[in-house]
């Protein structure tokens, strides 16, 4: 039987060298500035910046350099205690990014695993997890945060735990829905019939196929977490001095808003810009990962 | 190949799918008796909804059974079989690309099976296995979307073969393929039977396909077997009005897959004798 050993034409090999699509372009367009901001914030200790907590009361509430009375020794002005706003912005950004990232991971890991479990096992496992998700989504976040922080005091680990609590339910909900449809695909049946254990199917096969959605969700969640952290710090439930975050700066600056707008406005702008960029980046990623928009 | 040894024995199998959200329960399989001997290709043919997939899933051990018994060479299929028994019953599905993990290369998929079934899979190298199903070694590095539907179906067959199944279930394995590719896959399955004695339960709604590969055929309608026997005889002289209607629905009334001759001439003599006896037996029952 010669036909049996003949190799059918190898097609589709060309799809490896795909031309970058418009989706890829916008991923880069929004990702690059975001990466720059994150890099600057994370490299803060290496940059030629003054100590963000050094108080020089005689220099208090100096406006940004380009305004009357400004000085290039503090390009973005100083706050009510004479601390350099630029330096505080960069160091505050560092903590903001670290908190956003750890909060995102701390929410993503349990959320994704529970979503996978609920969607794959269904039945009572799904019922229990889904009720938990609904309960979590029904509770006002600020209320939960106040309760936890009142009971446990303010500290970074508590803050990250609170932020993880905001996120996990979203992951669980989205991943559960995707798993429900993915598990009906014949390849899952094929793996079961080959005897591949359930945990291997979930972690080795379903998870990689959900990676696109999970990445998009994680990105969008980072935006939400930056906002949530800012809100908590603004309410005095977030980071504790001498730690600096943008939300804390916003809170401290609000008393001087009429006198010295830059102290509150600049961290506010930083939050807005980063959240906007993160959301645009997440949307770009979403259209990049959406299988219906793929070229194959 | 031990001629005449029964590999699959289904007795009085019934499957009732419970109704969900207000829908009434539906009886997908209703008292089916069916057997497949070693080295046979036995067809199950019937219109869509006649219960063929429900039957196959039950035989695989991953579907529902309501009553009756299934025996696959001493194994009672179920969801919690030991690995070695699990490997003994393999299935090829209709959707060639959907049957492979989109994110796993063909080679990595085979490696995963080898790690899981160390003792069972050592008999052949990846390259030999792939050439057995008519593929070259370069597909190993490909992802499923980088190969054609026909190639993907060959990969699925190779994955099943790797585990040396005693019974291969094929549920509409060519329905999603072009006619020319269809003939290649059918030829491959026949070749595997002829050369390696693979036992196949072949499910299809397509009489032309069944005619070209199956030694015997069961005709199913609404979950019941209405007629069974040697393929040639059932299709040439159908007894049941349903079979006659199915045949009349095929354009030309005598559709054949080009390049595939009738199977009876190819079946070994012993097997052919066996088959004609069983044809007589079942014909007696249905008459
Ligand atoms: N998982 C299921 N749940 C409920 N009903 C089902 C299920 N699978 C099949 N059925 C019903 O059983 C009947 C037979 O379906 P199936 O076995 O898929 O037939 P075929 O493969 O011949 O098309 C159909 O009426 C179908 O709606
Ligand atoms: Mg079917």
pLDDT tens profile A187-243? 999 999 999 999 999 999 999 999 888 988 998 888 888 888 888 888 888 887 788
Tell me the count of A-B CB pairs closer than 8 A.
Answer: 95
Residue A252 belongs to some domain of the structure: yes
Q: Does residue A7 carry a pLDDT above 60? A: no
Please tell me if residue B112 touches chain A, with a CB cutoff of 8 Å.
Answer: yes
Rounded CA separation A213/A210 (Å): 6
Q: Which atom of ligand 1 is nearest to the CA of B50?
A: 22
Find the domain containing A142 and state its range: 83-289
Q: Which atom of ligand 1 is nearest to the CA of B205?
A: 22
Note whether B198 and B168 are within 8 A (CB): yes
Note whether B219 and B226 are within 8 A (CB): yes
Q: Which atom of ligand 1 is nearest to the CA of B46?
A: 22
Shortest CA distance to A115 belongs to which of A206, A221, A216, A212?
A: A206
**Buried (b) or exposed (e) across B45-65, using 16+ Cβ within 10 A?**
bbeeebbbbbbbbbbbbbbeb
Dihedral (Cα; B227, B230, B231, B233), 10-degree rounding: -80
- Rounded to a whole number, what is the distance in Å from the CA of B89 to chain A's nearest CA? 8
In the block, which residue shows the tokens 């591949």?
A: A196
Read off the pLDDT of residues A69-110 as tens digits, 9 standing for 90 and up.
Answer: 777 887 888 888 878 889 999 999 898 899 999 999 999 999
Residue A2 belongs to some domain of the structure: no
Rounded CA separation B147/B134 (Å): 13
Residue A48 belongs to some domain of the structure: no
The confidence score (pLDDT) of residue B254 equals 55
Please tell me if residue B150 touches chain A, with a CB cutoff of 8 Å.
Answer: yes
Distance between start and end Cα atoms, chain B: 33
In the block, which residue shows the tokens 């040639």?
A: B232
Distance between start and end Cα atoms, chain A: 33
Angle made by CA atoms B217, B221, B226, in degrees to the nearest 5: 55
Q: Which two tokens stand for residue B261?
A: 């001759």
- Residue B101 makes CB contacts below 8 A (sequence gap 6+) with A187, A191, A205, A208, A209, B109, B144
Rounded CA separation B10/B31 (Å): 10
Residue A41 belongs to some domain of the structure: no
Residue A138 belongs to some domain of the structure: yes
Ligand 1 contact via B54 beta carbon (within 6 Å): yes
The confidence score (pLDDT) of residue B33 equals 96
Q: Which two tokens stand for residue B62?
A: 């991953």
Which candidate from B81, B99, B101 shows the least CB-CB separation from A205? B101
Taking CB atoms and an 8 Å limit, are B117 and A195 in contact across chains?
yes
Note the pTM of the prediction, 2 decimals.
0.81
Shortest CA distance to B232 belongs to which of B258, B205, B261?
A: B261
Please tell me if residue A5 touches chain B, with a CB cutoff of 8 Å.
Answer: yes
Q: Does residue A15 carry a pLDDT above 60? A: no
Q: Which residue has the higher pLDDT, A251 or A116?
A: A116
Rounded CA separation A283/A285 (Å): 5
Ligand 1 contact via B199 beta carbon (within 6 Å): no
Please tell me if residue A256 touches chain B, with a CB cutoff of 8 Å.
Answer: no
Compute how many other C-beta atoms are within 10 angstroms of the C-beta atom of residue B5: 11
Domains and CATH numbers, chain B: 6-88+165-286 (3.40.50.300)
Give the mean pLDDT of chain A: 85
Per-residue pLDDT tens, chain B, 287 aa: give them: 445 789 999 999 999 999 887 788 899 999 999 999 999 999 999 999 999 999 999 999 999 999 999 999 999 999 999 999 999 999 999 999 999 999 999 999 999 999 999 999 999 999 999 998 999 999 999 999 999 999 999 999 999 999 999 999 999 999 888 888 888 899 999 999 999 899 999 999 988 899 999 999 999 999 999 999 999 999 988 888 999 888 887 765 555 666 565 444 444 444 444 444 444 444 444 43
Q: Which two tokens stand for residue A72?
A: 């290039």
Residue of A nearest to B180 (CA): A8
Q: Which two tokens stand for residue A45?
A: 């200790």
B55 CA distance to ligand 1 middle (Å): 9
Note whether B88 and B165 are within 8 A (CB): yes
Structural domain total, chain A: 1
Q: Is A294 helix (H, G, I), strand (E, B) or coil?
A: coil
- Rounded to a whole number, what is the distance in Å from the CA of B201 to chain A's nearest CA? 16
pLDDT-based confidence at A5, cuts 50/70/90? Answer: very low
C-beta contacts of B57-63 below 8 A and 24+ residues apart:
B58/B13, B58/B15, B58/B29, B59/B8, B59/B10, B59/B89, B59/B167, B59/B169, B59/B201, B60/A193, B60/B89, B60/B91, B60/B169, B61/B86, B61/B89, B62/A189, B62/A192, B62/A193, B63/B15
Ligand 1 contact via B53 beta carbon (within 6 Å): yes
CB-CB neighbors (< 8 A) of A18 in chain B: none
- Residue A40 makes CB contacts below 8 A (sequence gap 6+) with A47, A90, A93
B56 CA distance to ligand 1 middle (Å): 11
Residue A193 maps to which CATH number? 1.10.3720.10
Handedness of CA A87, A90, A96, A99 (dihedral sign): negative
The confidence score (pLDDT) of residue B261 equals 55
Residue A44 belongs to some domain of the structure: no
Q: Give the ligand with the smallest distance to the CA of B55.
A: 1
A43 CA distance to ligand 2 middle (Å): 60
Q: Is B33 helix (H, G, I), strand (E, B) or coil?
A: strand
Can you tell me the ipTM of this complex? 0.84
Ligand 1 contact via B94 beta carbon (within 6 Å): no
Note whether A226 and A241 are within 8 A (CB): no
Q: Is A62 helix (H, G, I), strand (E, B) or coil?
A: coil
């Amino acid at each position: 039987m010669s036909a049996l050993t003949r190799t059918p034409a190898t097609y589709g090999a060309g799809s490896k060298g795909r031309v970058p699509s418009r989706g890829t372009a916008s991923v880069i367009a929004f990702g690059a500035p975001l990466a720059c901001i994150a890099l600057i914030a994370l490299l803060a200790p290496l940059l030629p910046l003054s100590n963000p907590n050094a108080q020089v009361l005689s220099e208090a509430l100096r406006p940004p350099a380009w305004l009357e009375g400004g000085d290039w020794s503090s390009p973005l002005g100083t706050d009510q205690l004479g601390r350099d706003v630029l330096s505080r912005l960069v160091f505050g950004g560092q903590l903001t990014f670290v908190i956003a990232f750890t909060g995102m991971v701390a929410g993503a890991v349990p959320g994704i695993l529970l979503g996978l479990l609920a969607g794959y096992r269904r039945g009572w496992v799904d019922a229990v997890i889904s009720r938990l998700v609904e309960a979590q989504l029904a509770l006002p976040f600020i209320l939960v945060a106040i309760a936890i922080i009142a009971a446990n005091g303010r500290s970074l680990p508590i803050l990250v735990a609170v932020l993880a609590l905001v996120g996990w339910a979203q992951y669980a909900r989205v991943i559960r829905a995707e798993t429900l449809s993915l598990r009906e695909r014949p390849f899952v049946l094929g793996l079961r019939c080959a005897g591949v254990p359930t945990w291997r199917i979930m972690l080795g096969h379903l998870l990689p196929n959900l990676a696109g959605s999970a990445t998009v969700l994680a990105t969008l969640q980072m935006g939400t977490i930056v906002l949530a952290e800012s809100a908590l710090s603004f309410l005095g439930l977030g980071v504790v001095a001498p730690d600096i975050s943008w939300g804390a700066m916003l809170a401290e600056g609000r008393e001087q808003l009429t006198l010295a707008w830059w102290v509150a406005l600049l961290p506010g702008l930083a939050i807005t810009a980063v959240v906007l960029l993160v959301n645009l980046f997440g949307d770009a990623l979403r259209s990049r990962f959406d299988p219906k928009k793929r070229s194959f | 190949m031990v001629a005449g040894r029964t590999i699959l024995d289904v007795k009085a199998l019934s499957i009732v799918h419970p109704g969900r959200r207000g829908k009434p329960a539906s009886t997908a399989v209703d008292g089916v008796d069916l057997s497949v001997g070693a080295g046979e290709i036995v067809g199950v043919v019937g219109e869509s909804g006649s219960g063929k997939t429900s039957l196959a899933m039950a035989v695989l051990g991953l579907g529902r059974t309501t009553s009756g018994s299934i025996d696959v060479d001493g194994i009672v299929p179920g969801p919690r079989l030991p690995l070695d028994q699990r490997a003994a019953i393999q299935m090829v599905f209709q959707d060639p690309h959907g049957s492979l993990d989109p994110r796993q290369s063909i080679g990595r998929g085979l490696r995963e099976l080898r790690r899981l079934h160390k003792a069972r899979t050592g008999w052949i190298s990846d390259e030999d296995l792939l050439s057995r199903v008519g593929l070259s070694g370069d597909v190993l590095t490909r992802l499923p979307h980088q190969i054609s539907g026909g190639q993907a179906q060959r990969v699925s067959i190779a994955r099943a073969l790797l585990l040396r199944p005693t019974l291969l279930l094929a549920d509409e394995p060519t329905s999603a393929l072009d006619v020319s590719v269809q003939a290649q896959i059918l030829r491959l399955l026949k070749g595997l039977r002829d050369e390696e004695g693979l036992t196949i339960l072949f499910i299809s709604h397509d009489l032309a396909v069944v005619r070209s590969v199956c030694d015997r055929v069961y005709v199913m309608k609404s979950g019941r077997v209405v007629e069974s026997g040697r393929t040639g005889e059932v299709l040439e002289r159908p007894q049941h009005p349903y079979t006659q209607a199915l045949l009349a629905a095929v354009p030309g009334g005598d559709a054949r897959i080009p390049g595939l001759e009738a199977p009876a001439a190819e079946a070994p003599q012993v097997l052919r004798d066996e088959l004609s006896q069983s044809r007589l037996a079942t014909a007696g029952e249905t008459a």
